[in-house]
Amino acid sequence: MKKFLIVAVLLLSVSVTYAQLNFGVKAGYSSSLGSNDLGSITSGDYNLKSVNSEVGNGFHAGVFARLGSKLYLQPELLYAMSKNDNTVTGVDADGNNVSYDKKVKISTVDVPLLLGYKVLDLKLVNLRVFAGPKLRFNAGSTLEFKNVTGGGLDASDLQRDAKAAKVGLEAGFGVDVLMLALDFRYNLIGDMYETKLKDVTIDNIPASTFVISLGWKIF
């Protein structure tokens, strides 16, 4: 058994040594417009004003590594930030109409671990598909309430429920041209922030996003 383990470790070491390894930097844009919102748009329930109020636009930047050739493993380390200011209207547990202005800044450290496959692998260009888990850590997000009206409430009655970390799933496709890597992704992950009134969730901040990013493979 010991000899088998030694041989397995040696084979793994040799395969990693001779595997194709890339390292690069990347940055991109993200939008928190989710699939439910898209369904509301197509059904006519939304107008342009309401869509703009709910979409959180953001950016991300960081580094990535890619180990392998046709089948590859790609871990990433990214800093992401998004902002969204809008007015929320709703009804509390007693049936009173409530509204407030919400100012949000979401700052996170994201760690996707993606398994990819090159469906088209040419010398100068390739087309990839990929999927894998994603870890997200809160990195100083803030949530502020102003102009609270209705139900005899003020800002102190609204509770901020912040999660320290979340686990999600990310999937998409990408195109490599020479040393450039363009990705289109959707990440499905739980909300980092919720607004509660008397321990009842009345509003949340969507964390799932569409992502477009451009990377440069340094080597």
pLDDT(133) > 80: yes
pLDDT(124) > 80: yes
pLDDT(104) > 50: yes
CATH 2.40.160.20 is the classification of domain 22-217: yes
Gap between the Cα atoms of 166 and 209, Å rounded: 14
84-113 average pLDDT score: 79
Write out pLDDT tens, residues 9-58. Answer: 444 444 444 468 999 999 999 887 544 444 444 444 444 444 444 556 88
Write out pLDDT tens, residues 167-214. Answer: 999 999 999 999 999 999 998 887 777 776 666 666 666 678 899 999
Gap between the Cα atoms of 100 and 144, Å rounded: 10
Reported as half-sphere exposure (CB side, CA atoms, 13 A), residue 8 has a value of 5
- State if pTM tops 0.85: no
* pLDDT tier, 91 (very low <50, low <70, confident <90, very high otherwise): low
User: What residue type is assigned to position 74 of the chain?
Assistant: Q
The more confidently predicted of residues 140 and 203 is 140
Can you give the pLDDT at residue 148?
A: 78
Strand residue runs (E) in the chain: 21-31, 57-68, 71-91, 97-121, 125-138, 142-149, 158-162, 165-177, 180-188, 193-197, 200-205, 209-217
User: What residue type is assigned to position 141 of the chain?
Assistant: S
Can you give the pLDDT at residue 42?
A: 44
Say if CB 52 and CB 31 are below 8 A apart: no
